Structure 1
Amino acid sequence: MTVPRVVPALLAVLIGLGVLVGPVAPAAADDEGGTATLQQRLDEAATGYNNARAEAQASEKRRTALVSQIAVLEKRISALDAQVQELSAAAYRNGVPDAATAMANSRSLPDLIGNLGLVDTLSERRSQTLADLRQARRDLADTQKDVDAQLTKQRAAQRTMGRKRAAAEKALADAKVGGQPTGGFTDNADDHPAAAGPPARKAAPKPRRKPTAAPRRSDGTYGSEGCSQDDPTSDGCLTPRTLHALRQTRAAGFTHYVHCFRPASFGEHPKGRACDFAAAKSGFGGAATGDDRAYGNRLAAWFIANADRLGVLYVIWYRQIWLPGSGWRAYQSGSDPSAAHTNHVHLSVQ
């Protein structure tokens, strides 16, 4: 029996529409682990946390300055109060001088001019002192209100930080990649929590250069940036903040192979906001061990120590993820070295 030509054509159309290929596949995974949904939720939560933290810090800084200003105003009010009391006491003892009294007590024209000048001076001094005292008290009241307002803003930002931290941890739990608190990493070469295999050879940590802080907006937060700078590690682009982080990392002595931009359907890499820092000197290979692993430990620890200055969104290394506010958490995103992040440290920048 000959199959009509229309049947293959119809089958092709149905397959193209997904009618004959079964249920819709789950969210696609990145080649280094994670899903579009997870990365989007982590991006939003970490960005929200960092911005709220910057706002809280700005409010605290402003509040501290205002408290110092209050101390100055209180000292000034105390001094003005003393002056007013002194003038009032002098007026009570000697009477309040006036023009008529000055004329009566003057024996000559020069005396009259001098006495009238003294009356004016004393009167102006008393009036100015009272005016200064009233203004200082108004300034103090306004400053105290500003302190209260800054404290309200700070507490609101702290509540936002708590919500964003919880949102990031829930995203990890929903994605079933772990999320349990872990020990993280330090500059110690034998630091290897939550990972199999022998410890790396211990070596004395080297001092690292503190990075130059990335530019911030006037409110202390990091603004959104486009992929506008050439990526020196690829043919792609980077945001200015990511390029700054890359340069500062290299200046601190972390000079192993790095690759940043890459085309992808989701995540920070195609936005120019992420870099992968190989544990090995020449490129990505198998799971890092020995000195390579120690290098990754030091690099991950350095990123965390300078997260605020670099605008770090999150860091992934050796089956763990660091998120602002949450710290290091288990991150089981795959089994191969790239997905498990056992051959490179992933840095995402806000």
Structure 2
Amino acid sequence: MTAPLRRWITPLVVALAALAIVAGPTPALAAPATPTPSGHEEDDDPPLITKAIESANRQYVQAKAKLVKSQQRQRQRAEEVRAAQRQLDALRPQVSAIAAQSYRTGRIGAMAVLLESRSPDSFVQRAAGLDELNLVNGQKLAEINAAKTRAEQAKLALDAEVREQQRLTNAMAREKAATEKALKLVGGLDFTGGLVSATSRVAAIGPGRTADGDWKAESCSENDPTTSGCITPRTLHAYKEVKKAGFNRFVGCYRSGGPWEHPKGRACDWSLQKSGFASWHNNDMRMYGNNVAAFLIRNADRLGIYYVIWNRQIWFPATGWKSYSGPSNHTDHVHMSLL
């Protein structure tokens, strides 16, 4: 074969090779990196639980909005893929015809087209036409293949983004549910008025807890630091832990008489003021009582809490908060009883 003929046939081979490339696999993109939430400087005092709920809900809404936008972009990229495929389908018959001719006649096909020329001018025109056709087809195939590749890569990236946003939305939903559960644990919004810290200090485990989580019976063997009476080792431990948590207003534990835990050395009353008892009548007193109760309940398993009474409500580990009515409505102190 002469050099000029080889030069005219080469674009045809390139075009057919480009067609094979279109049908080949598209390289996948790596999934976007997981976004890292911005950090928050810790305050001296823990935020109110209502602030934690608001933050969790706000992050949930933001993640959901990002998911919707991501899904919209994904639909746009999917339409780009379909448009590229339609263009490819429109071009395929032309390429198929060239491929079929090459299959039937072999490499002589293009040569035969050129040798049918009856004059030098006709030969040059046919050669130029064949070269132009192959060049156009090759350019179209390359253009369609590039567009299809870009669209598919964009779709893969957005699929990964949608999955990540869905994961983030689910995480925010779990965080919201956990925060609402935490609010319920301390009595709910109506009961606390939202005046309760989102977290409490973690107490040290009290004495007498067995390996299976039960608590050994204890006698009233320790001097009560609040009276001249006695309390159990577990009650003394709980008393010290509440003090460590910063609750240093008036408290009384042992009290003689009555059928309940005070004469057994298994109870303490945490007042809302520095001396004596008075029902709460401002936010400071209410929040103090809420936070004492929250500390005891959040650490119930570590301290061996039997029940807590506060502000006309009683809490048991097995039942949660229930309405309470008794000799005292407990609006002036938080009562704790130990197992």
Q: Normalised by the size of structure 1, how large is the TM-score?
A: 0.41
- 1 or 2 for the larger relative contact order (CA 8 Å, sep ≥6)? 1
Greater helix share, 1 or 2? Answer: 2
Q: Normalised by the size of structure 2, how large is the TM-score?
A: 0.43
